[in-house]
Amino acid sequence: MASEKSDSFQCGAFEVASNPNVTQFVDKLNKLREAIDQCRIQPGVGYTLTRSSGGTSLTIKTGSGSSSPEDLYPFKIKIRQKDKKYQFFVIQGSVGNNDTLVSNQEKWVDFEAPARIYLEATVSDLKITSCLLKAIAPDQTLELVTISGGKQIQSRITIGLFIDPSNAKNFQIVQNVRTNLLPVTICSDGYPAIFLRQEPTTT
């Protein structure tokens, strides 16, 4: 009956013989070794192997496996809830050719949800001097350009919307900016002003 069983590796049956053929026996052992090697789990991305006399253990790394790696890009928003407060975290991005840094990037910032998360740049003589990330209610009007005394003092752009705070495990964020920002000179109510827009993506 043993000879009728499946033999996908074609090792053949191991039988006791009075005059064994050494060449055939060694060939069977080599095929058996090849079959064992084909069944071995090899090290790979996202897991580690530990082999011992008791067997092989497979340890899957957290956040790996079939899930794809996290997509990271400038000004990506992350949300968390801590001590019954909502906080946002924005990945580092730059504003303008001089790479003006945003003072509260990559820091957890408290805000009230739901919210429109935006960047506010302080402008002096048509130059950006500082940038800050803020949040307002989604139904509030966001002035993209603020003029005072005939001169621009601020420029703003929406980074994203946090629209559904009901599910803490799956916060819903509508991302508005995915690249660095560029200041563009425009005319606003008859005054020259800096307008912020996304840096074009290259393909």
Nearest Cα to 116, choosing from 142, 87, 90? 142
pLDDT at 26: 78
The helix (H) or strand (E) run that includes residue 10 is none
Mean pLDDT of the chain: 82
Element at 82 (helix H, strand E): strand 77-82
Q: Which of left, alpha, beta for 54 (phi over 0: left; psi -120 to 50: alpha)?
A: alpha
Instruction: Give me the mean pLDDT over the 146-162 stretch.
Output: 95
pLDDT value for 21: 79
Percent of the chain residues past pLDDT 90, beyond the cut = 47
Q: Rounded CA gap, 201 and 138, in Å?
A: 27
Tell me what pLDDT residue 152 has.
Answer: 95
Q: How confident is the model over 132-159, as a mean pLDDT?
A: 95
More confident call, 176 vs 48: 176
Each residue of 55-95: pLDDT tens digit? 677 676 655 445 567 788 999 999 998 888 899 999 999 89
Helical segments of the chain, H only: 22-39
- Per-domain residue ranges for the chain? 7-60, 77-198
Query: What pLDDT sits at residue 23?
Result: 83
What's the sign of the alpha-carbon dihedral 161, 165, 169, 172? negative
